[in-house]
Amino acid sequence: MSSSFVTRRTFLKTGSLAGAAVLTGGAAGARRRQGPVVIASANGAGCVAEAMRHIQEGADALDAVVAGVNLVEEDPQDTSVGYGGLPNAEGVVQLDSAVMHGPTGRAGAVAALEGIKYPSRVAHVVLQRTDHVLLVAKGAQAFARMHGFPVENLLTERARQIWVRWRENLSTQDDYLPPHGPDDIDIGEAFKRTQEHWGTIHCSAIDLGGNISSVTTTSGLAFKVPGRVGDSPIIGAGLYCDNEVGAAGSTGRGEANLESLASFLIVERMRAGDSPEEACLAACQRIADQTRLRRLQNERGEPAFNVSFYALNQAGEVGGARIRGAGGRMAVADGDGARMVELAHLYD
Ligand code: GLY
């Protein structure tokens, strides 16, 4: 952690920080920009390297982060984002994405978008070529087609098989049957949700001009109710950036973040003087405080789910935190190259 910041929540477990800058006027007043720097969720190792390559060639931070996440959107092996993402309950891949551009303060987003491999690019065009911020479902797809995006089948064979397995094991009360033998009874047990069902990629960057931008893109919660929209395309929830302060984004249980608008909270905490890591931990604590339903808690009354946050400030400091468990990581690229950095966490 930067020596400029005193850790005020010593009861919280903290991970390491990278790219730390020595601020010259306190965090809120610091104007010395360091950079460039790129951060992303743990599935963004290639993303941060790609975004940094664009930035080093002079790209605007928003163009760079969108180019970075495009690598993951088009990757059929990543079942949480774009092409190859796990579908909704009806087997349809519905994608959410948002972008925010620090220099102009503008944002663009799409939600429940079907058939378009690069939702982050569509979100970028919403920002550039409309007077709106968020387009959804059929309207979003029509807009994408208008701007030349091809409509494709995004359901890979791998994702289809996982969806069929989920559907066939959902209930013993319906007529969908998983593979079974002649002596089997009570065929089909509840399919256990895993962390993988909330995968997403977030990426934020500071470019050579010291400008900040962000993107978040996802296929959302696997097997979701059709039409469900998570936090990723909601400005202030899945991401937020302010060119004079910093940027933040999230992955994990979107419903918890939608109810706390944690990315906005993180940026405001950094404006008030928190380091990125402190601000991310404060967001985790906010969600924990708001999680009052027993069905969402473990036996100790803690959130039983995870949400992870990633942040950078205008001085080039980076940090992140998640609600549950050591071992969380984020990807960082800066003048020292690309590497993984440990997330702080609220609960073991
Ligand atoms: N955080 C991604 C989602 O909940 O859809």
In 3D space, the residue among 145, 125, 96, 105 whose CA is nearest the CA of residue 255 turns out to be 96
Q: Name 211's Cβ contacts closer than 8 Å, sequence gap at least 6.
A: 60, 61, 102, 103, 243
Residues of the chain with pLDDT under 50: 1-33, 194-196
Give CATH for domain 8-347.
Answer: 3.60.20.30
- The domain ranges of the chain are 8-347
Q: How many CA atoms lie within 13 A of 77 on its CB side?
A: 2
214 lines ligand 1 (CB under 6 A): no
The verdict on whether 200 is a catalytic residue reads: yes
Ligand 1 probe mutation, 202, 257, 310, most atoms within 8 A of CB: 257
Q: Which two tokens stand for residue 157?
A: 């064979």
Q: How far is CA 236 from CA 133, 240, 258, in A?
A: 12, 5, 9
Is 320 a pocket residue for ligand 1 (Cβ < 6 Å)? no
- The 8-class DSSP code of residue 42 comes to G
3-state SS class at 32: coil
Q: What is the pLDDT of residue 21?
A: 32
What's the confidence (pLDDT) of residue 171?
A: 79
Please report, in angstroms and rounded to a whole number, the separation of the first and last CA atoms in the chain.
Answer: 20
Q: Residues 14, 79, 200, 218: which is the catalytic one?
A: 200
pLDDT, residue 1, reads: 31
Is the CB–ligand 1 distance for residue 85 below 6 Å? Answer: no
Q: Is the CB of 98 under 6 A from ligand 1?
A: no
CA of 194 to the centre of ligand 1 (A): 13
Which amino acid makes up residue 271? R
CA distance 23 to 261: 27
What's the predicted TM-score (pTM) here? 0.88
Given a contact cutoff of 8 angstroms between Cβ atoms, the answer to whether 256 and 305 are in contact is yes
Q: What is the pLDDT of residue 40?
A: 98
pLDDT score, position 177: 86
Q: How far apart are CA 56 and CA 334, in angstroms?
A: 10
pLDDT of residue 155: 97
Please choose from 97, 201, 251 the residue to mutate so as to test ligand 1's pocket, defined by most ligand atoms within 8 A of CB: 251
Neighbouring-strand partners of residue 214: 100, 204
Point out which residues pair with 70 in neighbouring strands. Answer: none
Residue length, the chain? 348
Per the CB < 8 A criterion, the answer to whether 318 and 37 are in contact is yes
Q: Which amino acid is at 317?
A: E
Task: Give the pLDDT score at 192.
Answer: 55
